[in-house]
Amino acid sequence: MKPNFIEAIQQLERGKRMSRETIREIVESALLSAARKTLGVTPERVEVLYSDATGDMKVTVKRVVVAGKPATPDEISLVEAKRTRADAAAGEEVTIQIPMDDLGRIAAQTAKHIVLQRVREVERESQYGEFKDKIGKAVTSVVKQRRGKLVILDLGDVESVLPGSEQIPKEDYRPGEHLKVYVADVTMTPRGPHIIASRSRPELVRFLFEAEVPEVAQGVVEIKAVAREPGSRSKVAVMSHDRNVDPVGACIGMKGMRVQAVVQELHGEKMDVVMWAEDPETFLINALSPAKPTRVVKDDAARSMIAVATDHNQLTHLIGRGGQNARLASKLTGWKVEIMTEAELRGGPAEGTVADGTSVPAPVEGAAPAEGAAPTEAAGDVMAPVEPSTEPAMPSAEPAAPTEPTADAPAAPAAESPDKAGT
């Protein structure tokens, strides 16, 4: 039995992240189960000792000495007992060491099966504990295969699932491709940990900047908020805890190298890095970058702000293609945002507004849309956060929490378009 069993133990130790104490407990438990089944004695009478240093195994059984012929496996004749202990007497208990060869091949296979089964259980528990601690963090994965709408990712010792709802629209996942993913959830199942990964959540953008920008990783630059429409555009609001460090410049990097690394990881998703401000009006002006409103009107009671444009051309730039710029600004600030012209604000002819976060002008006869802006449609068809909907959509981002007063950078430098940095 010993050579076969030692081979099983060696397989167990190779590449397994287990302590020697855990391995010893598993081996002793397997031997104990095999010995009980082979010898047929009462379980409490069997004891197993295994040395992880030498690989030596010892099985002992406590049996009751009887004067005649033993009636059960728990008994031993007086003659046999005296071979083990010369002063043995009837009615006493003696401890008999069972040679490993006496357990036989079946016992060895039973013990080996138990060891490997228990190892799998311990591995699953270990993997679950490891990835449970990684919920809310980003990890590197390798695309393994696609099963319908699901993408299976290899995380090393375990696999994770990237559901269709957590994928970036139109992103192609090729086997062998390395991807950064956000660990959204981990649950334990009979087959091991079930890990849900995400490529579409705003938190992934935050972790990508932490990986690319040392100032963010060190806490000198803080990412205050992220608003995202996966696969299309994200806005990131940053601030600096060091007056000598420009947070926007730190995130963009020399010649845009840092922000470009994030863009490449997300396969071309555009990034706007803007200055966070404690003052809501200033923050909205920054969040609407690269467009610039003439002024901002705030309503604290309704927790809403109106970004005012001087003319239709400026209005279309503030709203953005399909309303995206205004939607993202609303999510980033946590306030309901409306876009109006000066004439509309003064009570003149309205150009069309949407209450939940953005405003869209109605078509102006004879007026051509601004360059880069999509032709406007009915307000309810444009302003849903991701897909067109007539229902109003409230901003999904939480309001930026106020911090200790800091020196706000001027709106113009803070709102420099990151697109000019190659995004």
How is the chain split into domains, by residue range?
2-130, 138-198, 201-276+416-423, 279-401
Q: Output the six-digit token pair for 297.
A: 């009107």
Residue 169 has a CB neighbour count (10 Å cut-off) of: 11
- pLDDT tops 90 at residue 91: no
The amino acid present at 148, given as its one-letter code, is: G
Three-state DSSP at 241 gives coil
Q: Which CATH number fits domain 2-130: 3.40.50.200, 3.30.1480.10, 3.40.50.2300, 3.20.20.140?
A: 3.30.1480.10
pLDDT of residue 343: 87
Supply the CATH classification number for the domain 138-198.
2.40.50.140
Do 388 and 374 touch, CB atoms closer than 8 A? Answer: no
Specify the pLDDT at position 55.
65
Label residue 104 by pLDDT band (50, 70, 90).
low
User: What is residue 200's DSSP assignment?
Assistant: S
Evaluate if residue 4 carries a pLDDT over 80: no
**At the top level of CATH, which class does the domain 201-276+416-423 belong to?**
alpha beta
Q: State the DSSP H helix or E strand holding residue 37, giving kind and residue range, or none if neither.
A: helix 20-39
pLDDT band, very low/low/confident/very high, at 151 (cuts 50, 70, 90): very high
The residue with greater pLDDT, 184 or 156, is: 184
Residue 63 has pLDDT above 60, yes or no: yes
For position 408, what pLDDT does the model report?
A: 42
Residue with tokens 């209450």: 355
Q: Please write the tens of the pLDDT for every residue from 168-206.
A: 998 999 999 999 999 999 999 988 899 999 999 999 999
The angle that helices 324-333 and 312-319 make with each other, rounded to 10 degrees, is 60
Return the minimum-mean-pLDDT range out of 98-102, 297-301, 333-337: 98-102
pLDDT band at 18; cut points 50, 70, 90: low
CA angle 46, 50, 52 (to 5 degrees): 165
pLDDT at residue number 97: 82
Question: What's the pLDDT band for 53 if we cut at 50, 70, 90?
Answer: low
pLDDT over 70 percentage in the chain = 74
CB-based contact 61:41 (threshold 8 Å): yes
Helix (H) or strand (E) holding 122: helix 100-132
Whole-number average pLDDT of the chain: 79
* Residue 78: pLDDT over 50: yes
Q: Could you tell me which residue, 409 or 166, shows the higher pLDDT? A: 166
234-257 pLDDT, tens digit each: 999 999 999 999 999 999 999 999
Of 3, 52, 1, 7, the C-alpha closest to 28 is 52
Q: Do 2-130 and 201-276+416-423 fold alike per CATH?
A: no
Please name the helix (run of DSSP H) or strand (run of DSSP E) that holds residue 46, with its range, or none.
strand 46-50
Question: How much of the chain, in percent, has pLDDT values that exceed 90?
Answer: 47
In CATH terms, 279-401 corresponds, of 3.40.50.300, 3.30.300.20, 3.40.190.10, 3.20.20.140, to 3.30.300.20
**Residue 154 confidence (pLDDT) above 90:** yes
